[in-house]
């Protein structure tokens, strides 16, 4: 397998026409080229989102995912039966288990956070491995290349790059996937939000703060999917000027930002949530007004980079600007969306928004 480097970069904005054309071209190339090469077992070259040229030598029957966003992308593409290895977190994910009950029998290969079990991964003899770009992702990709195991790196940190990730995975796998349907569903939700908020006066825009799973004083940056979830929902992210990945802040910084609302990561521990009841934090507008929400859903987190992330923007926009979405049944939209991506509604999978927190002084 031949792997090379180049300097191709991904535009993080994902909102102009050039990007949309790029995404549709990726889907077009998938339809025209991808399915034929894979179906006949012919070798094909893909360029991953780290700019690496990766040769896929033939049919892809066995896939390994190494972090939850990759697993959710694979499930939405209808490729669950090809999974032979997944990140440990996905084996516990309620949506993953509802969509693909056999995931319990799939080998867990570790996680981005705790580390990948390289031997367990290789033992599955995968035809394709989907990796992250942070931490040791690129190093793992190179180790796999030395073993002639194709590995692609995805960077799904905006709605646009999520769509590009989906197109890349579909191109690498080849054959028939759900890529076009997922793209359409994402676009419909985004168009709805933008249409409803297009006349929102600047003076009526709310400010928001996202607290990560690490705690109340750990937040997102302008480079992350949570930032786009906020801005798409018509909310000014108070930490949007920060760069990199999750950043720790001081209580004083939170007081200075004084956001109108707060969204807590789906995976924030209860002990951290209880800190919101600290009397000192009542100085923060979001807390004093009880405008603090837990990001949906009870099935799988919408604040993770995946096709589900656009639903987080719709949920938040309706929460914050209800008059602009008074005729929108969020649960109905969510059920339609889940059925299109996963073949089952959220209700059928036993899920719900579960977006409120319990206030205790």
Residue spans per domain, the chain? 3-177, 184-342
Those residues with Cβ within 8 angstroms of residue 233's Cβ, 6 or more apart along the chain or in another chain: 193, 197, 312, 313, 314, 316, 317, 320
pLDDT of 175: 87
Q: What is the mean pLDDT of residues 29-46?
A: 59
pLDDT surpasses 60 at 37: no
Contact by Cβ (8 Å): 335, 329: no
pLDDT at 123 over 80: yes
State the average pLDDT over residues 279-294.
95
Q: pTM for the complete prediction?
A: 0.88
Mean pLDDT of 312-341: 98
* Spatial CA neighbour of 206 closest among 330, 101, 57, 319: 319
Residue 344 per-residue DSSP state: S
pLDDT score of 163: 97
Show the tokens assigned to 45: 């070259």
The DSSP line for 88-156 is HHHHH-HHHHHH-GGGGGSEE-EETTTEE-HHHHHHT--SEEEE-SSTTHHHHHHHHHHTT--EEE---
In which band, very low, low, confident or very high, does the pLDDT at 41 lie, cut at 50, 70 and 90? confident
Checking if the pLDDT of 351 tops 80, the result is: yes
- Give me the residue label for tokens 């094909």: 44
Q: How far apart are the first and last CA of the chain?
A: 60
Report the percentage of the chain scoring pLDDT > 90.
Answer: 83
* Spatial contact of 274 and 44, defined as CB atoms under 8 Å apart: no
Residue 346 burial (C-beta neighbours within 10 Å; 0-12, 13-18, 19+): buried
Confidence of residue 360 (pLDDT cuts 50, 70, 90): low
- Sheet arrangement for strand 44-47: 3-4, 53-56, 44-47
Asked whether the domain spanning 184-342 has the same topology as the one spanning 3-177, the reply is yes
Q: pLDDT for 110-121, tens place per residue? A: 999 889 999 999
pLDDT of residue 24: 47
Whole-number Å distance between alpha carbons of 255 and 237 = 15
Partners of 209 in the beta sheet? 262
pLDDT band at 361 (very low <50, low <70, confident <90, very high): low
DSSP letter assigned to residue 222: T
Tokens of 344: 């089952």
CA distances in angstroms from 209 to 245, 259, 334, listed in the order given: 15, 6, 24
- DSSP strand E in 9-60: where? 44-47, 53-56
Q: What is the pLDDT of residue 13?
A: 42
| Local structure of 159: helix, strand or coil | helix
**Multiple choice CATH, 3-177, 3.40.50.720, 3.90.920.20, 3.30.420.40, 3.40.50.1980:** 3.40.50.1980
pLDDT in tens, 164-189: 999 999 999 998 999 999 999 999 99
Q: Percent helix, strand, coil in the chain (nearest 5)?
A: 45, 15, 40
CATH 3.40.50.1980 fits 184-342, yes or no: yes
DSSP calls for 264-332? E-TT--HHHHGGGG-GGGGGSHHHHTT-EEEPS-SSS-TTSSSTTHHHHHHHHHHHH-GGGGTT--HHH
In whole angstroms, give the CA distance from residue 218 to residue 340: 34
Nearest-angstrom CA–CA distance, 35 and 107: 28
Q: For 329-344, what is the mean pLDDT?
A: 97
29 pLDDT more than 70: no
- 228-238 pLDDT, tens digit each: 999 999 999 99
> How many residues make up the chain in this entry?
361
- Taking only the tens place, the pLDDT of each residue in 227-264 is 999 999 999 999 999 999 999 999 999 999 999 999 99
Token digits of residue 195? 């249409």
């Amino acid at each position: 397998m031949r792997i090379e480097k180049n300097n191709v970069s991904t535009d993080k904005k994902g909102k102009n026409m050039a990007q949309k054309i790029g995404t549709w071209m990726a889907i077009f190339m998938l339809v025209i080229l991808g399915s034929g090469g894979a179906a006949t077992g012919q070798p094909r070259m893909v360029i991953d989102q780290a700019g690496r040229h990766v040769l896929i030598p033939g049919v892809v029957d066995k896939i390994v995912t190494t972090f939850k966003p990759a697993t959710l992308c694979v499930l939405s593409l209808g490729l669950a039966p090809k999974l032979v290895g997944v990140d440990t977190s996905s084996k516990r994910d309620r949506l993953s288990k509802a969509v693909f009950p056999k995931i319990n029998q799939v080998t867990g290969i570790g996680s981005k956070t705790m580390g990948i079990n390289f031997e367990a991964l290789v033992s599955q003899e995968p035809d394709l491995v989907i990796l992250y770009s942070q931490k040791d992702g690129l190093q793992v990709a190179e180790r796999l290349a030395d073993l002639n195991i194709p590995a692609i790196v995805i960077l799904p940190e905006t709605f646009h790059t999520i769509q590009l990730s989906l197109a890349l995975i579909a191109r690498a796998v080849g054959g028939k996937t759900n890529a076009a349907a997922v793209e359409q569903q994402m676009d419909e939700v985004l168009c709805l939000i933008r249409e409803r908020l297009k006349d929102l006066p600047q003076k009526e825009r709310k400010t928001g703060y996202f607290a990560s799973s690490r705690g109340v004083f750990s937040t997102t940056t302008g480079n992350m999917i949570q930032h786009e979830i906020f801005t798409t929902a018509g909310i000014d992210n108070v930490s949007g000027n920060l760069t990199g990945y999750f950043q720790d802040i001081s209580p004083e910084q939170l007081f200075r930002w004084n956001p109108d609302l707060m969204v807590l990561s789906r995976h924030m521990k209860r002990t951290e949530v209880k800190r919101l009841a600290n009397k000192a934090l009542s100085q923060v507008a979001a807390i004093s007004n009880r405008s603090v929400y837990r990001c949906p859903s009870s099935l799988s987190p919408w604040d993770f980079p995946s096709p589900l992330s656009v639903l987080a923007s719709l949920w938040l926009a309706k929460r914050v600007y209800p008059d602009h979405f008074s005729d929108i049944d969020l649960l109905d939209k969510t059920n339609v969306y889940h059925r299109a991506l996963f073949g089952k509604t959220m209700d059928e999978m036993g899920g719900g928004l579960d977006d409120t927190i319990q206030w205790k002084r």
